[in-house]
């Protein structure tokens, strides 16, 4: 099969995403090895690629480190992999060298597409390139249906790998945690594993234990749905340009049973409320779950029923205590269906408007009397 860029096919995809792929070569090869290719540095020079600070882009050029990242995903031989934000293709090369069956590349920045097409040519029939945004890309149809497994089974032969831009990493992992809770998105295929990079501090939050200074909302949301492993840390100087922080490589395996068996939105609301006042007693944050009328009484009821000490700080609460709080709050919402829709912030806004209105009212009355 010809390996020139003219061999590439273009086909339209929804949401203005564009997909490029090569026709599969006939027959199968026992072992796959990439042919000699330009180095990542040469690709960057060839296509005049520069990391854009506003997109939090940092290039990883050391293939020993990209190989190490890919090894954290486990056995990838004949696996189906989605790489998020491949950029100039460093991790992409390591994934292909691991002997994957199919590799889906989702890249938002069009500047990187030509360099990725070179890799696609070097691995005929193995690579699909999608020019699109991972936050909106529909992953329910990203992989063949025959790869689906029951949730109780071992994880499917599907992996998500990515050196994520810092600006995207936290909203993306929250989105995927919600997908895990609902068993949709990339988790419609089963307990799909993820190997992703984060700022070192975010990586520490993801694995933080009760009492740890990095314990946060992210710790609870991740650990109640996944086994989370902080694999290793990459020093900032390994990237081009060098970020101001080091980078953590984190591996996620969804749990068969979540530790808190309540809807994602409910768990997220309770956990967010608790950590709203991180340095105060947890009682203060939990108060924000309830309207001003009867707030103190209902907060006391919640904490007493959940058997949680109101003088504990948010970062001191264990997973079982969060589970008790969520279960109790769910019962209270079942008894009062309007409770879950209540918003503390919205109430503050309304109270502020009312104070301004009352403040202006005497001035208006005085003007009317003068007239």
E strand or H helix that includes residue 129: strand 127-131
Q: What is the pLDDT of residue 40?
A: 84
Query: Contacts from 324-331 at CB under 8 Å and sequence distance 24+?
Result: 325/270, 325/274, 325/286, 326/260, 326/262, 326/266, 326/267, 326/270, 327/260, 327/262, 328/302, 329/266, 329/270, 329/289, 329/302, 330/262, 330/266, 331/305
Q: Is 227 left (phi over 0), alpha (psi -120 to 50) or beta?
A: beta
For the chain, list the domains and their CATH numbers.
Answer: 40-254 (3.40.50.150), 264-358 (1.10.8.100)
Cα–Cα distance between 298 and 51 in angstroms, integer?
A: 52
CA atoms within 13 A on the CB side of 88: 27
The bridge status of strand 226-234 relative to strand 102-107 is: unpaired
Report the candidate in 90, 87, 83 with the shortest Cα–Cα distance to residue 39.
90
Q: What percentage of the chain exceeds 90 in pLDDT?
A: 75
Mean pLDDT of 246-266: 98
Cα–Cα distance between 134 and 106 in angstroms, integer?
A: 7
CA distances (Å), origin 237, targets 11, 243, 246, 263: 39, 7, 8, 41
Q: What is the pLDDT of residue 28?
A: 43
E strand or H helix that includes residue 283: helix 282-286
End-to-end CA distance of the chain: 91
pLDDT at 4 over 80: no
Q: Which of 61-75, 156-170, 343-357 has the lowest mean pLDDT?
A: 343-357
Q: Which of 51-65, 151-165, 333-347 has the lowest mean pLDDT?
A: 51-65
Q: What is the pLDDT of residue 55?
A: 66
Mean pLDDT of 340-365: 81
CA angle in degrees (0–180, nearest 5) for 199-173-185: 155
pLDDT category at 32 given cuts 50, 70, 90 is: confident
Residue 49 has phi, psi (to 5 degrees) of -85, 135
Report the candidate in 143, 193, 196 with the shortest Cα–Cα distance to residue 170.
196
Q: Which of 24-28, 45-49, 167-171 has the lowest mean pLDDT?
A: 24-28
pLDDT at 31 over 80: no
Cα–Cα distance between 88 and 109 in angstroms, integer?
A: 10
**Contact predicate 18/10, CB 8 Å:** yes
pLDDT category at 15 given cuts 50, 70, 90 is: very low
Sequence ranges of the binding site: 58, 60, 85, 107, 133, 163
Per DSSP, helices labelled H in 72-165 are: 90-97, 113-122
Report the candidate in 129, 146, 251, 157 with the shortest Cα–Cα distance to residue 198.
251
pLDDT at 173 over 50: yes
Residue-wise pLDDT tens digits, 266-297? 999 999 999 999 999 999 999 999 999 999 99
Q: What is the pLDDT of residue 241?
A: 87
Top pLDDT among 101 and 31 is at 101
Residue-wise pLDDT tens digits, 306-350? 999 999 999 999 999 999 999 999 999 999 999 999 999 998 888
**Contact predicate 25/1, CB 8 Å:** yes
Mean pLDDT of 244-264: 97
pLDDT category at 45 given cuts 50, 70, 90 is: confident
CA dihedral (69, 71, 77, 78) positive or negative = negative
Cα–Cα distance between 129 and 115 in angstroms, integer?
A: 11
Place of tokens 């956990």: 271
Residue-wise pLDDT tens digits, 98-124? 999 999 999 999 999 999 999 999 999
Sequence ranges of the binding site for S-adenosyl-L-methionine: 58, 60, 85, 107, 133, 163
Average pLDDT value for the chain = 89
Place of tokens 């360099």: 115
């Amino acid at each position: 099969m010809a390996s020139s860029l003219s061999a590439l096919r273009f086909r339209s995809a929804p949401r203005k995403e564009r997909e490029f792929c090569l026709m599969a070569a006939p027959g199968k090869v026992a072992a796959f090895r990439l042919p000699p290719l330009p180095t990542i540095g040469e690709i960057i020079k060839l296509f005049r690629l520069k990391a854009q600070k506003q997109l939090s882009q940092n290039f990883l050029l050391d293939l020993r480190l990209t190989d190490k990242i890919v090894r954290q995903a486990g056995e990838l031989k004949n696996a189906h992999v989605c790489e998020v934000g491949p950029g100039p293709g460093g991790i992409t090369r390591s994934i292909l060298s691991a002997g994957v069956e199919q590799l889906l590349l989702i890249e938002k920045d069009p500047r990187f597409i030509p360099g990725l097409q070179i890799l696609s040519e070097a691995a005929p029939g193995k690579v699909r390139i999608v020019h699109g945004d991972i936050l909106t890309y529909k992953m329910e149809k990203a992989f063949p249906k025959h790869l689906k497994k029951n949730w109780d089974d071992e994880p499917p032969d599907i992996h998500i790998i990515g050196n994520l831009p810092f600006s995207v990493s936290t909203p993306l992992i929250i989105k995927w945690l919600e997908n895990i809770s609902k068993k949709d998105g990339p988790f419609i295929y089963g307990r799909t594993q993820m190997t992703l990079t984060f700022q070192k501090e975010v990586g520490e939050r993801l694995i933080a234990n009760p009492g740890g200074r990095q314990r946060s909302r992210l710790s609870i949301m991740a650990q109640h749905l996944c086994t989370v492993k902080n694999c290793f840390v990459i020093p900032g100087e390994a990237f081009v340009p060098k970020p101001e922080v080091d980078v953590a490589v984190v591996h996620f395996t969804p749990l068969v049973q979540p530790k808190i068996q309540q809807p994602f939105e409910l768990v997220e609301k309770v956990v967010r409320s608790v950590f709203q006042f991180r340095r105060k007693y947890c009682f203060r944050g939990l108060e924000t779950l309830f309207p001003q009328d009867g707030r103190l009484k209902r907060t006391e009821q919640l904490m007493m029923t959940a058997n949680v000490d109101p003088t504990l700080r948010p970062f001191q609460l264990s997973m079982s205590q969060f589970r008790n709080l969520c279960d109790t709050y769910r019962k209270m919402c079942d008894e009062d269906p309007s409770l879950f829709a209540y918003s503390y912030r919205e109430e503050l806004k309304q109270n502020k408007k009312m104070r301004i209105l009352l403040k202006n009212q005497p001035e208006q009355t005085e003007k009317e009397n003068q007239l």
